[in-house]
A and B are shown apart, each in its own frame.
Chain A
């Protein structure tokens, strides 16, 4: 064919940096894969049972369900999250079920971001926000979380030290700003934005009449004494916030690809329009299972047997294990407050091994990760992935590990680290 094939909206969205790392991880089969964010332990029994029931039950569950969400699911999401957000939620107008939280993000961008609109993205950011902004014709405007030197020189840095400069943030808002994307707990850092920080974001969104897209997929994975706050629950924010959640991260079933958006009807109706013109229906049976899981959690909310209590407790242990092990080799972890990931400072290695193989101008963290996979058998993800092009060099001394893994994997990681440590001593 002679003519140009692809649509212009794909410009700036084609590149997928993940592929190289996924392929490397597959190639080095002995490497312990702490890269991509998914659990390698089974989902909880009640989730497996729910899905098993859904697929062996009424044969009509093999057919289409309601387009905007399977009624039992939208009903329980409305009642569950209504309580948390302090809103009376209508399952038909305030809830939309999507293909994963990824699909929810896409639907939101397409519904609301127009050609020329600016979208404020807080760095480091889950990498899809940028191409999704481009595909909607928008311009991403980045503002970085920055680590400030810790006051009491503790050994362990915390992501509470990573903060937004209030003046800088305010300066990013212009008359063209349509939306701000918030991710709390944040991927990759693991920062849990506290109420005061959210109030700042909220006040700016209200002043500038900006929409807040709040990606809260890790909302149950909160560690230590931190608390997750949904910005939609702050005064004046419900009417301008879309809150995105994920069954995959909530119930450790990333492969079910069920997500949702909660928001006011006057904004949600636009997401429904995109949804009915893109996927229309989501698969039925996974929705049936997720509904059942939420019904169970609704009954057990706050109790010790709640998965929302047990999972973060278990993952906190994994996080602590990983922090301790990585420190022994000279990594400097930034203790995450929530989520699946640990961001780790590799400055020590950068100063000792500044010239690792890699393409010209390739950020150091990417060279380091490739070297580490091949030579040390550990897979991580370079944090420069989660930064906009111009800022990658400033943050090229961090890599991201996923600690939501079973015991055996963490022990395998320990073995690799011990070998590494032994070599360092020589």
Chain B
């Protein structure tokens, strides 16, 4: 042990010691200059570095391009949502870590009689121990989320589930629904597990599964023949025998996405019953990505598979503030499920980011309370947004049809896919080894100044060819954006009729 000296914080014999190391035959100077071979990636991310969005976002970044590609609203979030965040930004103590652990949150503020109860959801501006949080009685072992937010989420979702939802044990607030997917997969999926993914799929499901060492097992949605009526997302279904053939004893989970991105399919009761039946038969988990749950159009109803008999105990249901309130940049999402599943997501959380941003969680809680209290009101954003989007959906269906594309009318969500095979675009100067839709989107962005996303980006390598004639458009865009898209379509049409070609 070397002697310590107060002024020089290092041990005396350093120079001698370094000389010893440096002259060691075992080590030698050559290691200093060699390109290091150890500083390489962990195996878990091998092959996961590419990302469709990076390429296509860059392409659409040109300001002259009308971007109907990436799924982000260019409409303003509702005023009261913005206002809540502005108010919260003035509260000093909401700028520190939230009390992410569970606490007894007292009675629900949305009491039926409308009176303010002793539980006032407004944060006390003078202390973190706000009047809305009564004394702590429950010891919870892991992080769940900002207290007022998990409370609001439990109040909201209890309306849909038979049972009460424990805000501390059955909810976890995450960094977007993306974070919930990650936590669910990291917490519940093991190396060697099989997980069923329905194609097309939101593109992160596959790399997240691979990062967890799981084997994705794919099953495509298939369209039935459509004669005479409009092609709808409901025409795309899973073949029951084919679906059952994908389940076996290694199947740990199935990922369900309803309403579906990119198709816009809203799974029916019968379809969910089939999936539920198989999950129970094969003792499988269900990870249900329901981020677009409020965006369901006339004639359709969003159903939660976790409410089906035998499903609560095996389902993690994921939601998103970004999609609920048109605030994708807040990156807040949540997972809801039984404690024996959620606790593992909570463990992942405490070893990854620990807590999410406090002011955003508080603002989200306040926004939720506003809408929870008026669920039947047309002004409630959960009702007004789908109404607003249905008009935009119908408009874009019409626009795409007018230029010879064959759209599939979505029953939900804010995307629409269209078959582009009728267009004879000259794709000869595009890269040969890319799927047709990648080339088409690049051609359309470059030549028509309209950006979209190729649907084969949502497919695994084997199924890409089944979907390479489809392109996805996002319609949660303000009217002026859709007007600009309309102009492009009209010009495109004129050019087609003038040239007599189908381009």
Contact = CB atoms under 8 A, between A and B. Distances in A.
Given A10-B187, A52-B86, A62-B327, A40 B175 contact: no
26 contacts: A1-B314, A7-B186, A9-B186, A9-B190, A10-B344, A26-B103, A27-B135, A43-B95, A62-B326, A63-B74, A63-B328, A64-B70, A64-B329, A100-B355, A102-B354, A112-B42, A131-B351, A163-B4, A167-B17, A209-B39, A255-B97, A277-B48, A280-B176, A280-B178, A283-B330, A284-B330
Contact of A256 (B95, B141, B179): B95
Contacts of B389: none
Contact of B175 (A99, A112, A152): A99
B139 A276 contact: no
B99 interface: yes
B175 A282 contact: yes
A16 B141 contact: yes
A106 B352 contact: yes
Contacts of A207: 21, 27, 31-32
What is the interface of chain B mostly: helix, strand, loop, or mixed?
A: loop
- Interface core residue of B8, B9, B34, B51 (most chain A CB under 10 Å): B9
B346 to A, nearest CB: 9
A330 interface: no
B39 A279 contact: no
A158 interface: yes
Contact of A279 (B1, B285, B314, B353): B353
B266 interface: no
B326 A148 contact: no
Contacts of A141: none
A110 B42 contact: yes
Contact of A160 (B9, B89, B92, B188): B9
A65 B329 contact: yes
Contacts of A48: 89-90, 92, 95
Interface residues of B, number: 108
Given A2-B283, A42-B92, A273 B49 contact: yes
A347 B291 CA distance: 55
A253 interface: yes
A204 B85 CA distance: 49
B45 A178 contact: no
A356 interface: no
B224 interface: no
B341 to A, nearest CB: 6
Nearest to B83: A56
Contacts of A280: 176, 178, 204
A161 B329 contact: no
Contact of A266 (B39, B98, B208, B356): B39
Interface stretch (A194-202, A370-378, A392-400): A194-202
Interface stretch (B228-236, B295-303, B357-365, B372-380): B357-365
Contacts of A240: 36, 39
A51 B94 CA distance: 12
B226 interface: no
A55 to B, nearest CB: 5
A29 B358 CA distance: 22
Contacts of B1: 148, 165
A377 to B, nearest CB: 16
A203 B18 contact: yes
Nearest to B128: A40
B115 interface: no
A209 B42 contact: no
Interface stretch (A17-25, A82-90, A320-328): A17-25
